[in-house]
Amino acid sequence: MNRIQIQQGDITTFALDAIVNAANEAMLGGSGVDGAIHRAAGPRLLDACLAVAEVAPNVRCPTGEARITAGFDLQARFVIHTVGPVWQGSQHGEPELLASCYRSSLQLAREHGLRTIAFPAISCGTYGYPVEKAVAVVRKTLTQCLADDAHFERVVLVAFGDESLAAVQAGFPSQS
């Protein structure tokens, strides 16, 4: 069975080793999936994020990097927070930074012995990354990361809306 799976739904309901949060660099919560994860995890998640060391004033997770916390009241054991690029038309390193979000999150999960992980469509909401372009980056990156890797059992791409689901499925014909 292919380890990459596409599912529609609310990522906060996934009972996996880790779910990935589309955070911002301050890691203090927000709207979208960030807001949903913080609401579902409860206030201890914010405390855990505040405990993450700042690497610059009000920056706990630079764009393209990932940080891990417990999942607290979530069904997932851990939350991996990553910060996607704001879409600026593709000439400002956005594809590379988006790829780095997925690579960094998988690397952090691997370091913590986590074998099942779910990703939302990072940067495809508030940060404006066109879904079709993002999916092409995700597919190339996951294919590279999982090619010689037997560590992960399940990597789930969670699409929230119908349009997002159609775009992800179109980008992964073998999983649809």
Quote the least distance from Cβ 118 to ligand APR, whole Å.
8
Active site residue 34: yes
Quote the least distance from Cβ 120 to ligand APR, whole Å.
4
* 85 part of the interface to ligand APR, by CB under 6 A: no
Q: Which of 153, 157, 155 is nearest to 165 (CA)?
A: 157
The structure tokens listed for 115 are 């074998």
Stretch that binds ligand APR, among 58-66, 71-79, 114-122, 168-176 (CB under 6 A): 114-122
* 104 part of the interface to ligand APR, by CB under 6 A: no
Cβ-based neighbour number of residue 83 at 10 Å: 29
Contacts of 12 (CB under 8 A, 6+ apart): 19, 36, 37, 39, 40, 41, 74, 75
Stretch that binds ligand APR, among 45-53, 109-117, 121-129, 137-145 (CB under 6 A): 121-129
Locus of tokens 């807001």: 35
The length of the chain is 176
User: How many residues interact with ligand APR (rule CB under 6 A)?
Assistant: 26
Site for ligand APR in 2-41 (CB under 6 A): 10-12, 22-24, 30-36
* 160 part of the interface to ligand APR, by CB under 6 A: yes
CA–CA separation, 112 vs 106, rounded Å?
10
Q: Which of 126, 119, 73 is nearest to 99 (CA)?
A: 119
Quote the least distance from Cβ 8 to ligand APR, whole Å.
9
Interface residue with ligand APR, options 41, 68, 79, 84 (CB under 6 A): 84
Locus of tokens 């890797």: 149
**Residue 157: strand, helix, or coil:** strand
Residues found near ligand APR in the complex (CB under 6 A)? 10-12, 22-24, 30-36, 84, 120-127, 158, 160-161, 164
Catalytic residue annotation:
34
